[in-house]
Amino acid sequence: MATQTQSAPRTDFREMPIFLAFVSWWLKEVPGRIIYIGQKSIRRAFEFFSIYLLLRSLFEPWKRDETDTSNMALDDKLRVLMMNLVSRLVGAVVRGGTIFVGLFVISGVFIATLAATLAFLLFPVIIVYFIINAFSI
């Protein structure tokens, strides 16, 4: 038995006059699908980059590389504490960079979704503009 994937709700255009069906499809159905796909892509990018997990563990040591300082001399404790601090800083830099790249990708997907929606809605206007300018030469 095949599983069905969720998709944007589909409108039945068979009961409508053809012009109204086309306008409804052009202004409602397709932009809704583009936005739906954009939302899914943004959610997947959040999951792929694990933004929430990276924010929660931002100052954790890198690869959990931390040494216990119990039963050590004072100079060894200071050296180990400095190494632990460096491990935390490396972890923060790597996680911060990953968060930055993830937010950059997410904003790119958001902008691409907006651009695709606007381009689809304005395509007839662009075609008419080019036709008018082609005959005015």
pLDDT, tens digit (0-9, with 9 covering 90-100), for 5-18: 666 555 666 677 87
- Mean pLDDT across 1-6: 56
- Mean pLDDT across 75-83: 81
Per DSSP, 64 falls in state G
Q: Which residue did the predictor score with more confidence, 108 or 78?
A: 108
Angle at 17 between CA 16 and CA 22, to 5 degrees: 85
Largest CA distance in the chain: 89
State what percent of residues in the chain have pLDDT above 70.
Answer: 82
Per DSSP, 87 falls in state H
Q: Which residue has the tokens 């005959």?
A: 135
Q: Please check whether residue 36 is in contact with residue 8, taking contact to mean a CB–CB distance below 8 angstroms.
A: yes
- Mean pLDDT across 104-125: 94
pLDDT at 81 over 70: yes
Q: Please check whether residue 91 is in contact with residue 59, taking contact to mean a CB–CB distance below 8 angstroms.
A: yes
Burial category of 14 from C-beta neighbours within 10 Å (exposed 0-12, middle 13-18, buried 19 and up): exposed
Mean pLDDT across the chain, nearest whole number?
83
pTM: 0.70
User: How many angstroms separate the CA atoms of 53 and 108, rounded?
Assistant: 21
Which two three-digit tokens encode residue 134?
Answer: 């082609």
- What sign results for the dihedral spanned by CA atoms 66, 72, 77, 83? negative
- What sign results for the dihedral spanned by CA atoms 72, 75, 78, 79? negative
pLDDT at 2 over 60: no
Q: Please check whether residue 41 is in contact with residue 109, taking contact to mean a CB–CB distance below 8 angstroms.
A: yes
Which two three-digit tokens encode residue 75?
Answer: 């100079």
